[in-house]
């Protein structure tokens, strides 16, 4: 286990050390102590390593992650795992706005609640939130899955494309072109796998599925207001 203390190590050196790990590295376990809400911790990783951040992080923790598993033993600031490509990011506490924004792949697990715009413009990432998500979540979400075990705020899935949204609790309101959709067997099995991956014991049958009505897909003046 490699330990990096942010009280004594600069952000640049921390990221440079993590980014220097290659596919065949044998230094696979890393621990970051005293993060104290610093921004841009563990961004741009591209190796099968496991990084545990012992505390809360600022903006963009694990941004654009590839391959790595980043575990935040605290809460995460805005834009955690933004544009993630692959790998896994786990937040023990809550996540601030734009969690998983534009993510292309990999899994983001938030054990607490996520704030507004969770999964905004997501492009293939799977996001599993044990608690609630705030307003405008999955705005313009293109693909991937957002699983919410609690409630969703206003305007869920506004202008959504092909992403799938599963919500167990209430939805304050649906955004433009987002509708409730039938939960077919294929969705139950998909959700079963997602819940297992996210470490959730919720029952897939308790969820409702939401997605695009596909009415905004081609320009039409009646939609332009």
Partner 1 sequence: MKDLPNGAPRTVPIQSATFTNSVNAEIRRAAATGIYDIRGGGAKRKVPHFDDLLFLGASISRYPLEGYREACDTSVMLGTRHAENPIKLDIPITIAGMSFGALSGAAKEALGRGATLAGTSTTTGDGGMTPEERGHSKTLVYQYLPSRYGMNPDDLRNADAIEVVVGQGAKPGGGGMLLGQKITDRVAGMRNLPKGIDQRSACRHPDWTGPDDLEIKILELRELTGWKVPIYIKVGGARPYFDTTLAVKAGADVVVLDGMQGGTAATQDVFIEHVGMPILACIREAVRALEDLGMHREVQLIVSGGVRTGADVAKCMALGADAVSIGTAALIALGDNDPRWETEYQALGTTAGAYDDWHEGNDPAGISTQDPELEARLDPVEGGRRLNNYLKVMTLEAQTIARACGKNKLHNLEPEDLCALTMEAAAMAKVPLAGTDWWPGKSGTTF
Binding range to partner 1, per CB under 8 A, among 76-84, 183-191, 193-201, 203-211: 76-84
Residues 91-110 close enough to bind partner 1 by CB under 8 A = 97-98, 101-102, 104
CB of 196 to partner 1, least distance (A): 25
Size of the site for partner 1 (CB under 8 A): 43
Return the number of the residue (158 or 171) whose C-beta is nearest partner 1. Answer: 158
11 interacts with partner 1 by CB under 8 A: yes
Closest CA to 36 of 58, 8, 20, 61: 58
- The two beta strands, 69-72 and 88-91, are parallel
Q: Tell whether residue 64 is a contact of partner 1 (CB under 8 A).
A: yes
Binding mask 162-201 for partner 1 (x = CB under 8 A): x---------------------------------------
Tell me which of 6, 70, 75, 78 binds partner 1, using CB under 8 A. Answer: 78
Find tokens 């505390």 and name the residue. 55
Among the listed residues 59, 166, 207, 210, the single contact to partner 1 using CB under 8 A: 59
Query: Given candidates 71, 117, 135, 168, which one binds partner 1 under the rule CB under 8 A?
Result: 117
User: Where on the chain is the footprint of partner 1 (CB under 8 A)?
Assistant: 11-12, 15-16, 19, 39-40, 43-44, 46, 58-60, 63-64, 66, 78-79, 82-83, 85, 97-98, 101-102, 104, 117, 120-121, 123-124, 139-140, 142-143, 159, 161-162, 217-219, 221, 224
């Amino acid at each position: 286990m490699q330990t990096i203390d942010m009280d004594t190590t600069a952000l640049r050196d921390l990221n440079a050390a993590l980014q220097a790990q290659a596919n065949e590295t044998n230094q696979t376990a890393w621990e970051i102590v005293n993060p104290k809400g610093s921004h841009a911790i563990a961004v741009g990783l591209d190796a099968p390593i496991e990084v545990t951040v012992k505390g809360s992080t600022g903006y963009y923790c694990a941004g654009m992650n590839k391959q790595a598993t980043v575990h935040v033993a605290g809460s995460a600031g805005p834009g955690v795992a933004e544009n993630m490509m692959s790998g896994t990011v786990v937040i023990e506490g809550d996540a601030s706005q734009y969690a998983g924004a534009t993510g292309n792949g990999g899994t983001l697990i938030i054990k607490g609640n996520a704030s507004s715009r969770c999964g905004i413009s997501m492009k293939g990432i799977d996001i599993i939130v044990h608690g609630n998500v705030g307003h405008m979540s999955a705005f313009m979400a293109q693909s991937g899955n957002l699983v919410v075990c609690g409630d969703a705020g206003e305007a869920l899935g506004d202008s959504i494309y092909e992403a799938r949204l599963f919500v167990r609790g209430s939805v304050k309101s649906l955004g433009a072109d987002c509708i409730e959709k039938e939960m077919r067997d294929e969705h139950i099995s998909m959700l079963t796998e997602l819940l297992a991956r996210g470490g959730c014991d919720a029952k897939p049958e308790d969820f409702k599925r939401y997605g695009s009505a596909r009415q905004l897909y081609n320009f039409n003046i009646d939609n332009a207001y």
